[in-house]
Structure formats: structure tokens, C-alpha cells
């Protein structure tokens, strides 16, 4: 009897690339200080340097939530493909 090798889905998929971009973008945006190291333009009296960082807190939250939802969908699809039950 010969055993049929298990076919595994690829590890790098377009969904996983989008997840990686969602998680890496906030780091790049906030660690690249030269892009926002200035005072203007001001927003309701707050210098650009500060409101840019505060805005990225909100953007990071949305991107992390998106990455999590995509990851959950990817895991459910992989479990269904293997024939297992998803949690």
C-alpha cells in the first residue's frame, strides 16, 4: 500500500500578504520620523508631529482589526479545506 502524501496549501497567500502589510504599515509610518518631524500644519492647535501620531493610533487599531478578521477567515478556510471543524 502506498500512502498519498498530504497536500498542504501554500504558506504565502495573497490574504497573508495583506495581513502582513496591515501589521507592518503602522511601524513603518511611525518609525520613519523624518516624514512627520515638523510642526505644520496644525489641527485644532495641535502641531502636526503630535496629531499625526495620534491618528496612527486609530489607523493601527483599524488595520489590526482587519488583519485579525482576515486571519480568522483564512484559518476557517484552511480548516474547511482539511475537512476539520472550525472553532
**pLDDT tens figures, 31-84:** 998 888 888 899 999 999 999 999 999 999 999 999 999 999 999 988 888 775
* Rounded Cα gap, residues 77 and 10, in angstroms: 13
DSSP state of 42: P
Of the candidates 71, 60, 65, the residue with the CA atom closest to the CA atom of residue 24: 60
pLDDT tens for each residue of 19-29: 999 999 999 99
**Model-level pTM greater than 0.85?**
no
* Rounded Cα gap, residues 83 and 87, in angstroms: 13
Name residue, grid cell 491618528: 55
Contacts of 25 by beta carbon, 8 Å cutoff, 6+ apart: 63
Amino acid at each position: 500500500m502506498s500512502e498519498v502524501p498530504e497536500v498542504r496549501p501554500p504558506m504565502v497567500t495573497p490574504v497573508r500578504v495583506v495581513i502582513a502589510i496591515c501589521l507592518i504599515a503602522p511601524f513603518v509610518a511611525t518609525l520613519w520620523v523624518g516624514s512627520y518631524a515638523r510642526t505644520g500644519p496644525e489641527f485644532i492647535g495641535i502641531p502636526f508631529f503630535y496629531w499625526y501620531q495620534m491618528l496612527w493610533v486609530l489607523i493601527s487599531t483599524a488595520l489590526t482589526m482587519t488583519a485579525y478578521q482576515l486571519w480568522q477567515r483564512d484559518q476557517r478556510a484552511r480548516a474547511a479545506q482539511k475537512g476539520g471543524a472550525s472553532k
